[in-house]
């Protein structure tokens, strides 16, 4: 199964990460004697000098950040998770709030094997693709998610392998709490019974592959998965 491959931890330069303007980053700061994480975006960088990022916001206001504060930066790109240590060199408020981070000497990179899947617990609705199909829509729980498919849990079977369904679910993309409603076709790839807890109750887990997503939908889904990864790497399946 895809995982953070601890045998593939190495170092690289900031430039070799090949990040683009607007790339999502997670900043971990020490605030009031407690570690806090914020999401931000990359504005740009000058090799060997500075990395520019948007000042994170809380309640639509830029957070107070002291110059000289240490910061841990995490991001994900391609098949690697990246972590680097830096500090806040300069806090700028004009013409808009942004930060100068000290340019890192090296970056830790960890290979992620296979297609990235993360554990989630998102409610969803499945239905037949044909509007005239018999049977009502049914509630499911999405237990893990990737840009190409998902694992759906239900009380009983949704159908046989190869059968196509309609799937609708929602997720929220930070930093602006943007709610995305994704509606796509999905084909059942696998099915197995699972037992949760110590009781005899069983449910059915279905592996499904998404139909072709629109470019914007794919980018938003990828952003959400990256967001989950950045918040907690243990949620990689």
Please give the domain boundaries of the chain with CATH numbers for all domains.
4-112 (2.30.110.10), 118-235 (2.40.10.220)
How far, CA to CA in Å, does 160 sit from each of 23, 61, 119, 140, 185? 40, 50, 24, 16, 15
- Weakest mean pLDDT among 22-36, 54-68, 90-104: 22-36
Question: What is the torsional sign of CA 210, 216, 217, 220?
Answer: positive
pLDDT of residue 221: 87
Confidence class of residue 53 from pLDDT cuts 50, 70 and 90? very high
pLDDT of residue 201: 64
Phi-psi region for residue 32, left (φ > 0), alpha (ψ -120 to 50) or beta? left
C-alpha to C-alpha distance for 54 and 163, rounded to whole angstroms: 45
- Weakest mean pLDDT among 18-32, 61-75, 141-155: 18-32
Q: What is the mean pLDDT of residues 57-65?
A: 86
C-alpha to C-alpha distance for 186 and 199, rounded to whole angstroms: 31
Long-range contacts, stretch 119-123, CB < 8 angstroms, 24+ apart: 119/143, 119/144, 119/228, 119/235, 119/236, 119/237, 120/144, 120/145, 120/171, 120/228, 120/235, 122/169, 122/170, 122/171, 123/169, 123/170
The partner residues of 169 in beta bridges, in order of sequence, read 124, 182
Burial 151-174 (b: 16+ CB within 10 A, else e): bbbbeeebeeeebbbbbebebebb
For the stretch 72-110, pLDDT in tens is 998 876 667 788 999 999 999 989 999 999 999 889 887
Residue 92 or residue 173, greater confidence = 92
Alpha carbon 173 to its chain centroid, in Å, reads 9
Residue 5 has pLDDT above 70, yes or no: no
C-alpha to C-alpha distance for 103 and 51, rounded to whole angstroms: 6
For the stretch 104-150, pLDDT in tens is 988 988 776 556 788 999 999 999 865 444 557 899 999 999 888 99
Q: Please provide the DSSP assignment of 170-187 as one string.
A: EEEETTTTEEEEEEEEEE
pLDDT of residue 91: 95
Residue 6 has pLDDT above 60, yes or no: no
For the stretch 219-232, pLDDT in tens is 688 778 878 887 77
Confidence class of residue 233 from pLDDT cuts 50, 70 and 90? confident
pTM beyond 0.85, yes or no: no
Residues 103, 47 contacting (CB under 8 angstroms)? yes
Confidence class of residue 162 from pLDDT cuts 50, 70 and 90? very high
Q: What is the mean pLDDT of residues 14-42?
A: 83
Residue % of the chain over a pLDDT of 90: 41
């Amino acid at each position: 199964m895809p995982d953070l491959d601890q045998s593939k931890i190495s170092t690289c330069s900031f430039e070799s990460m090949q990040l683009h303007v607007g790339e999502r980053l997670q900043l971990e700061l020490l605030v009031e004697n407690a570690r806090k994480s914020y999401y931000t975006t990359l504005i740009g960088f000058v090799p060997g000098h500075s990395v520019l990022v948007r000042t994170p916001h809380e309640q639509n206001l830029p957070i107070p950040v002291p110059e000289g504060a240490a910061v841990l930066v995490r991001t994900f790109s391609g098949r690697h998770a990246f972590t680097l240590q830096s500090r806040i060199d300069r806090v700028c408020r004009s013409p808009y709030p942004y930060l100068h981070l000290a340019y890192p000497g090296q970056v830790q990179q960890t290979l992620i094997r296979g297609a990235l899947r993360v554990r989630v617990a998102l409610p969803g609705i499945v239905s037949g693709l044909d509007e005239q199909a018999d049977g009502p829509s049914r509630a499911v729980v999405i237990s893990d998610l990737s840009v190409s498919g998902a694992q759906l849990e239900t009380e009983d079977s949704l159908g046989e392998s190869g059968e196509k369904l309609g799937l609708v679910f929602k997720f929220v993309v930070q930093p602006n709490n943007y709610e995305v409603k994704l509606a796509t076709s999905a084909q059942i790839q696998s099915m197995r019974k699972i037992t949760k807890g110590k009781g005899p109750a069983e449910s059915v887990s279905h592996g499904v592959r998404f139909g072709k997503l629109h470019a914007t939908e794919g980018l938003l889904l990828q952003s959400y998965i990256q967001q989950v990864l950045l918040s907690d790497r243990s949620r990689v399946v």
